[in-house]
Amino acid sequence: SQKKPLSGKNIVVTAGPTREKIDPVRYLTNHSSGKMGYAIAEAAKKLGGNVTLISGPVSIQPPAGVKVVKVESAEEMYQAVLKEYDHAQIVVKTAAVADYRPKYAADQKIKKQPGEEVLQLERTKDILYELGQKKQSQLLIGFAAETDHLEEYASKKLKKKNADMIVANNVKTEGAGFGTDTNIVTLYKKDGSVIELPLLDKKTVAMKILEEACLLLGANGE
Ligand code: PMT
């Protein structure tokens, strides 16, 4: 049988939201369902890859045959990705990682007080940026979830994070972004080329992203 395009390659995919603890009963999070990232893991597996799926808390089932690492916070996700990074050929950062976390996570439930409560936040690590800094020969693919100025922000992310491709989705568009089974994405590649995809099932979007990744790997001479 024909050799599959990703056989012998290690693919790391992050998916889902992160949870940033406020106290034992509360946290900050977002609307990521994990569907986009899980679809990428499934597509990478179909193409023959050894897939590690690093996932925040979601309610969907992982695809068969992939290694799943469950994490909660942005910091845990960072540590988990770093562990896999050196021996990865492709990293796809689909997760919706929190940019901020509570500065002080309380050990006890925070009790109601009269008046206003102010929650102090601090920045989490920008995982994609850190990976871009540590990049050797890995193909680094990030996402951009935007509500406006898609092209400008995606191009900026591509450069600033030293990524090879940014998959941009306008999360305000019907049928795109968080929670849906479909997505509308535009791929921005390092060589300046742009590929605009129509509304598609997330599984189809995932396959198209990985087909582009295979081309880029090929161009890197592997
Ligand atoms: O999970 P679904 O419901 O299917 O929804 C899919 C999705 C909308 C979550 C997905 O398509 C998507 O856009 N994922 C990226 C969400 C996001 O956090 O975008 P961003 O523009 O804030 O971040 C840009 C990139 O940096 C992303 O690759 C993100 O993983 C990464 N990042 C962000 C913050 C941070 N602290 N560390 C990061 O690595």
CATH topology of domain 10-99+119-219: Rossmann fold (3.40.50)
Active site residues: 30
Q: Is 32 in the pocket of ligand 1 (CB under 6 A)?
A: yes
Mean pLDDT to the nearest integer, 201-220: 94
Q: What is the ipTM of this complex?
A: 0.98
Write down the domain spans for the chain.
10-99+119-219
CA distance 218 to 77: 29
Chain-centroid distance of CA 77 in Å reads 10
Q: Is the CB of 55 under 6 A from ligand 1?
A: no
**Residue 1 banded pLDDT, cuts 50, 70, 90:** low
Please answer whether residues 4 and 48 qualify as being in contact, where contact means their C-beta atoms are separated by less than 8 angstroms: yes
The average pLDDT across 113-121 equals 93
User: What 8-state DSSP symbol labels residue 133?
Assistant: H
Residues 6+ apart with CB under 8 A from 76: 18
Start-end of H helices in 61-176: 74-85, 127-133, 150-160
Q: Is the CB of 170 under 6 A from ligand 1?
A: no
- pLDDT tens track for 120-133: 999 999 999 999 99
Question: How far away, in angstroms, is 152 Cα from ligand 1 center?
Answer: 16
What pLDDT is stored for residue 218 in this prediction? 85
